[in-house]
Amino acid sequence: MNKYLFILGMLFLLPYNVCGQLKADDPGLYNAFVQTDSDFGLSSPSFNDANEVSPVGALLRSVVLPGWGHFYVNKAHQTRGLIHLGTDLALIGSYFGISIHANRLEKNLQTFAAQHAGTSIGNRNRDYLLSIAEFNSIEAYNDYQERSRNWDKIYEVNSINYWSWDDEKNRLSFLRMDTKVQDNRQQLPAVISLMVVNRLISGIGAFTLARNQSTVVNSLSLHLPHTVDNEFGIVAKYSVQF
């Protein structure tokens, strides 16, 4: 690093040394020299717009918040960053919307089971819900399990396990309601997966943009006019890229 700084410093000092020597040896040539065009890249728009960025930093930013890495790399990529950010916000909204809807359906399901089957399903496992959805009563369920020799699946007949549907249609309605709840619940992992994919795409895109972006730190061009005898000329140009 010190070596590069030394070289950079020497290149900055080069025009000043040339100017000093010309002024001492040939004032006329010096006056012609200082009137020539000089271009220093530090003031160029391309330098001001391009910043030294970290590809890893861009990746991590987009993983945390999709689109953030694109804003970090360059303002020119704001549109793509906004697309990733908007997609993430839409997915987050979908997740909470589906979750709230599923919770509402589940509460309706619990109320329906209590009214028409006389059982509380609030803290019961999935197997119990499937049992009351498929059989009209606990007696019918236990009778089926006995005939199938599934002794470990028989429920003890008590106030906690007991259910008896008042109508076959209500049991079928419960089954359809339960299916809707499960369909909504099963959408949540898919939404989360899409959020992860969006973050990965945004992160990889920001990483690639940051890696490919080359920041021109400085550029220098010095030109001396040709003299009558074409005896003297100097051109100095350098650039440093990251």
Three-class secondary structure assignment of 53-108: CCHHHHHHHHHHCCCHHHHHHCHHHHHHHHHHHHHHHHHHHHHHHHHHHHHHHHHH
Range of the domain at 42: 1-50+218-242
Tally of structural domains, the chain: 2
Residue type, 202: S
Under a CB-based contact definition with an 8 Å cutoff, are residues 167 and 42 in contact? no
Average pLDDT over the chain, rounded to an integer: 78
For residue range 15-53, list pLDDT tens digits in order: 444 444 444 555 554 454 444 444 434 444 444 445 678
Indicate if 2 and 105 belong to the same structural domain: no
Indicate if 33 and 46 belong to the same structural domain: yes
What number of CA atoms fall less than 13 Å from residue 208's CA on the CB side?
Answer: 7
* In-domain check, residue 194: yes
pTM (two decimals): 0.63
Instruction: Quote the pLDDT of residue 148.
Output: 92
